[in-house]
Amino acid sequence: MSLKVAVIGGGSTYTPELISGIARDPERLEVRELVLQDIDPERCEVVGGLARRMLDGQGFAGRLEVTSDLDRALDRPDGVVLQIRVGGQAARLGDETIPLACGCVGQETTGAGGFAKAMRTVPVVLSIAERARELAAEDAWIVDFTNPVGIVTRALLDAGHRAVGLCNVAIGFQRAIARITGVEPARVLVDQVGLNHLTWVRSVWVDGRDVLGELIEAHGDELAAHAGLRREVVDELGVIPSYYLRYFYMHDRVVEEQREEEPRAEVVARIERDLLRMYRDPLLAEKPALLEQRGGAFYSEAATALIGSLVAGTGDVQVVDVRNGDALAGLQPDDVVELPARIERRGPVPLPQPPLAPELLGLVQHVGAYERLTAAAAVTRDVRTARLALLAHPLIGQWEIAGELLERLVLEEAPAEVTR
């Protein structure tokens, strides 16, 4: 079945990563028409030019359109990929540095930075999704790669959209473990469970056998380094935490490191400038190696696999962000969790999970409460709900700090939009 796919935020420097997946796997995802839409016409033209050269080099038989017109992009697509960054890297810099000045981790998706990003992003995403509801194919799926994925996906689902969240952490673990064990990635199934950017790998299946214990014993140092943690943390927990758990398990050390380092937003802004300069080269017809430093590794493969499976209803298992239902005990049915799900035509069906250990469940419940409050605050713009969201987050949790962060991250930026 040939599809039309619209990429909203198509001027992102991530886009060549997505293009490489579409061009590389036409049998999994047969695209007849690909539309790259972005509000920045210059970036759209530059990224679109490289996309066209990449697709031509791979013998792409479909049609590529590059546009700044949202309605044109949303004209009857079968799938809509969201990869936008509201406010650009300048907003990200504030998300990282303002919390740090308050003694909190400065990170764009975790903690106060993720809260600020959600408050900016959710209204824009919902506006796009509402337009897609009016213009896209009736059974079109929205695949959200826009951070913070868990909160954005929750807002989309709360508004009744056919949406699923996608993160590249699980596929990154799968590829790392395949490399460590020397097997093909297709033979590795990673059982990653939790919330977006708050997950643990509790089992690793290779050819149908759980090898997690053997992996930790033989390769614990490398796995811990992949997560940015000490080896003893992995040994004690008996699971592999995602990289984002270091912000919780090593909070004070991370704050010290961040105060001494250049903000990640400035690093990424420099990488993006270099990438866009490279993308302008008419002789470049493949994604450059520098793109790996931008982040989002294997995003293309995860995205194409998910869209293809949703449309075809293949029933294969992928790690996605979906409503919990009764899959994970201790959480509410409407919480958005990240875990293995069977991908069917009617949507992802989360697979039942063994209960989380207390030391994992407590943290998930804590952050889950924060996400529920933040999703509500982003829609209602209610200042009390927003303050409670910050107060609920385990990386904040203090009244005076929550109030200061709310003032500096939200109220000073858009005071008229938030009701006191």
Question: From CA 99, how far away is CA 405, in angstroms rounded?
Answer: 7
Distance CA(344)–CA(312), nearest Å, equals 8
Q: Parallel, antiparallel, or unpaired for β 3-8 and 79-82? A: parallel
The owner of tokens 């799926």 is 141
DSSP state for residue 382 in the 8-state scheme: B
How far apart (Å, rounded) are the C-alpha atoms in residues 131 and 4?
Answer: 17
Active site residue 14: no
Catalytic one among 14, 243, 244, 299?
244
Residues 6+ apart with CB under 8 A from 307: 3, 5, 29, 79, 81, 141, 143
How far is it, in rounded angstroms, from Cα 51 to Cα 35? 11
3-state secondary structure of 65: strand
Which of 302, 374, 299 lies closest to 336 in space, CA to CA? 374
Neighbours of 25 (CB within 10 A): 15
How far apart are the C-alpha atoms of 27 and 405, rounded to whole Å? 48
Contact (Cβ atoms closer than 8 angstroms) between residue 294 and residue 271: yes
Determine how many CB atoms are found less than 10 A away from the CB of residue 148. Answer: 26
Active site residues: 244
